[in-house]
Structure 1
Amino acid sequence: MPAPPPAVVAENVSKVFFSRTGDPVWALEDISLTLEPGSFTCIVGPSGCGKSTFLRILGGLEERTSGEVTMGDAGHAIPTAFVFQEHGVFPWMTVLDNVAFGLRMASVGRREREDTARDWLARVRLSDFAGSYPHQLSGGMRQRVAIARAFATGSPVLLMDEPLGALDAQTRMLMQEELISLWEAERKTVLMVTHDIDESIVLGDRVIVMSARPGRLREDIAVPFPRPRSVDIERSGEFGELRARIWELLRDDAQRGEDAA
């Protein structure tokens, strides 16, 4: 059988903003990236390098200045689901309604969307909180709601912008393992921005290293650890070597950014 088409193709994507004085500021320059169906790819890079801008362009939340983006077969648009750092859950909705929200926007019937939402709440161990409101949950629980909502949409592509960045270290490690488990069961195509090198290695099949602004693709690194995977790989010497390699790529750009601040 022929290989399935790529889930996402970005070709020479660039983005320019204009300062208050009208001067152009290039956020991204000629980024090309192909994501295969069912892959998990992480992007790391210095602060302000355009990682989040690139993610928003892929998801249709930001206009590109030049280049092409193809989502799905033969250019047919496919829906994407987002998970943001601040969980993005609606404070006025119950947990159940939050998870069902994407299905509601897709005009899925009430019975079906609630059944789907309850299934995903069970999978993230929040069934007992279906009638609760976000302010009644911990930060980790709210992020599980956001992740469940993204998966529940049925979208084949999930775009995640530092989804675990606001969590404490212990909760973050637990959420990494939970996210790995959900992704391995569903095999969605995931593109995730993170500032955490260790997290990018634990979660990703690939780590895309971006340069300082204007953001360019500096290196595309294959992660060698087999699936299924857990955070235990962090104890291996190979993990330490890969972390050091990625840090070397980032350090000079990060230092230049500090000097320019």
Structure 2
Amino acid sequence: MNTHPASQAPAPPGAVVAEDVSKVFFSGGDPVWALEDFSLTLEPGSFTCIVGPSGCGKSTFLRILGGLEERTVGTVSMPDEGRKIPAAFVFQEHGVFPWMTVLDNIAFGLRMSGTGAAERTRIARDWLDRVRLTEFADSYPHQLSGGMRQRVAIARAFATGSPVLLMDEPLGALDAQTRMLMQEELISLWESERKTVLMVTHDIDEAIILSDRVIVMSGRPGTLREDITVPFERPRSFDIERSPEFSALRARIWDLLREDARTAEESA
């Protein structure tokens, strides 16, 4: 493993740059390497998805970028690092606060960053309207469907004003129909805001439909397996799933993941 961060050229303003990031955990006193020498640069305003075998460190890497986990080795550069909320998170289980109203949930990140009450209410109401939840402003999460709660979580992340959104399987708990609708909604919001998005998903089709690039990670310790540019122009529709190019790209990514899974079984 490389224990000395590599020198790097200056990144474009607003880019997210991770160089030679490694992370070790200790289980019963023994080191377990979750990530090893993983490097990734995200251009400002890009949408990138990460796929990889279970346990390869995808979520760990997201948490390192967001400051929720300390890296063992390597360097990370985030835009506006002096902000109180340098990156906004959306988790699989939506993470909305059950004791807060929908409006207060969306305004929460703004409150944490010190935005005044009147301004954060104005911004939160604007985002309520954009995710079509205006009439539920005074409702509580338990009164909403799963898809509606996830729209609250996504609106809260966008409302913070953070230039970077980190999403960990944000649509994974939804049924297939709701998931497709949320994919369309997420892309629409991203196209209007052009924030830098890094999203972890286990769904290959979802990764292709949503992203500019698909980052395929190896099995643990996770590192870069392949960096794939998605060839479809924007705006996109689900019609691309019918194309031979889509099928070929899906098969290519699946072959990489299957190869890693077989290697892990053989070495077990």
TM-score of the alignment, normalized to the shorter chain, above 0.5: yes
Q: 2:25 corresponds to which residue?
A: 17
Task: Tell me, in whole angstroms, the C-alpha distance in 1 between the residues paired with 2:266 and 2:176.
Answer: 28
Does the CA contact (< 8 Å) of 1:15 and 1:66 recur in 2?
yes
**How far apart, in 2, do the equivalents of 1:29 and 1:190 lie?**
22
* Distance in structure 1 (CA, Å) of the matches to 2:260 and 2:160: 37
* 5+ long unaligned stretches in structure 1: none
Pairwise CA RMSD: 1.6
TM-superposed CA distance for 1:187, in Å, is 0.1
CA distances 1:24-72 after superposition (whole Å, capped 9, x unpaired):
1100000010011000000000000000000000000000000000112
Alignment of 1:154-193 (within 5 A): 154-193=161-200
Aligned to 2:8: none
Q: In structure 1, how many angstroms separate the alpha carbons of the residues matched to 2:188 and 2:114?
A: 29
**Structure 2 unaligned regions, length at least 5:** 1-10
Shift of 1:256: 4.5
Report deviation, 1:76: 5.7
Q: Does 1:212 align with 2:219?
A: yes
Q: With the length of structure 1 as denominator, give the TM-score of the two structures.
A: 0.95
* Distance in 2, Cα, partners of 1:118 & 1:257: 49
- Spell out structure 1 runs of 4+ moving beyond 3 A: 75-78, 255-261
Q: 2:39 aligns with which of 29, 32, 37?
A: 32
The alpha-carbon deviation at position 255 of structure 1 amounts to 3.6
The answer on whether the counterparts of 2:79 and 2:163 sit within 8 Å (CA) in structure 1 is no
- Give 1:8 shift: 0.5
Q: Please, what TM-score do these two structures have when normalized by structure 2?
A: 0.92
- Offset at residue 185 of structure 1 (A): 0.3
Letter in 1 for 2:21: V
Instruction: Deviation per CA, 1:74-99: give whole Å up to 9, x if none.
Output: x7667100000000000000000000
2:257: which partner in 1?
A: 250
Alpha-carbon distance between aligned partners in 2 of 1:240 and 1:125, rounded to the nearest angstrom: 33
- Which residue of the partner structure matches residue 77 of structure 2? 70
Count of matched residue pairs? 257
> Is the contact between residue 107 and residue 120 of structure 2 (CA under 8 Å) also seen in structure 1?
yes
